[in-house]
Structure 1
Amino acid sequence: MSKDKPARWRQLYTGEPYTAALEWYRRNGLYNGLVPDAEDPRQQRLEAAVLAALARPSAMPAPPRLRKPLLALAGATPDVDALTLRPASQHLPHLLASLLPARTAHGVSGVPGLRARLSRRTGQLTLGRIHDDAVIGIRATQQEAEAALRQAKDLVKEASLEPLWDSDHMTGAIVKTCGSSFFKQLSTYPRSSVIPRAARRACP
């Protein structure tokens, strides 16, 4: 079988550029199939939660074609226990605002516990839950990611929602979300470590 045909098939499944599909096939072959599944249960749960959120109507104001955040994706790069989403760059802020958790009048939108992590060393943007090693990559440059995270926060505020992922809102959001358990934890940690450590225990 020529290398061209499997790469074309993978491209049809994933929406990747042909060059990315061909590079993946040359590196991995068909040992795990053209579109491998996650084997780690934590990665499975994270991918399922993110994809379910992408399929739901967004709580953010959006053009009709983006009422479901899934439509903001140009493609994806699945691998064994790894998934990278490829959003259209102009839609990245809306995608992040729809996936990252925000307080609404009826509960929480997005994926509870999800956080965005931008590596200062590599510039890689990933999404993962608090105290969980499973992550989903987001295809974007560091500059695009930094701008999109700021714009995502603005979109959430414009929708009269409260972001639950950023440090500016984290204290008040955790108090509202976790109730008295947060205050019990609050007194057990030094001031400098209250938010990250108490939040993990009060809101697993």
Structure 2
Amino acid sequence: MRPLHRFLRTLRDDLDAAHQHDPAARSLLEVALAYPGVHAIWVYRLAHHMWTVPLLRLPARLVSQAARAATGVEIHPGARIGERLFIDHGMGVVIGETAKVGDDVVLFHGATLGGRSMKRGKRHPTLGDRVVVGAGAKILGPVWLGDDVQVGANAVVITDVPTGAVAVGVPAKIRRRGTQVPFDVEVDDPAIYI
């Protein structure tokens, strides 16, 4: 497959992912014109391609900053993002330079894939395939989240999360899917559970 054809296919896959994950999306045209998360991903894909050429790293950063201003989504061009990422609503999403994101991942608004260190090297999370990160969740440091992990809204994840688990709370507690999550009406906000 030629590079341009592959690139256009990737853009179409991003459109399809948004359309499939958002029940409010009425058409691919609407998604293409009105979804800032999709726009941010498309600009990231261009900026990331530029980032691979050392002389284009500064222009890549400038392109990514223009996308941040336009969409409210900050994706460092050095991050490595798989196929069909869907960023719902978008505003406030941050993906750091050394983050790695698998295929078919969903990030809700305010999600952060950030660092905990100012040292060079791997300092951002690695997410497996089909991970869902709830609104306002923070995944910090070089932690690993396995495939099919769910992170509750506003959770703060600072440790690895095994495949198929659910992480909720501050700091996040890891639960196996299917286990009962205790709910205390006096303390807990139901929005933290997926």
Identify the TM-score tier after normalising by the shorter chain: under 0.3
Give the TM-score, by structure 1 length. 0.27
The structure where helix makes up a greater share of residues is 1
- Rg: which structure is higher? 1
TM-score of the pair, normalised by structure 2: 0.28
Greater relative contact order, per chain length (Cα 8 Å cut-off, separation 6+): 1
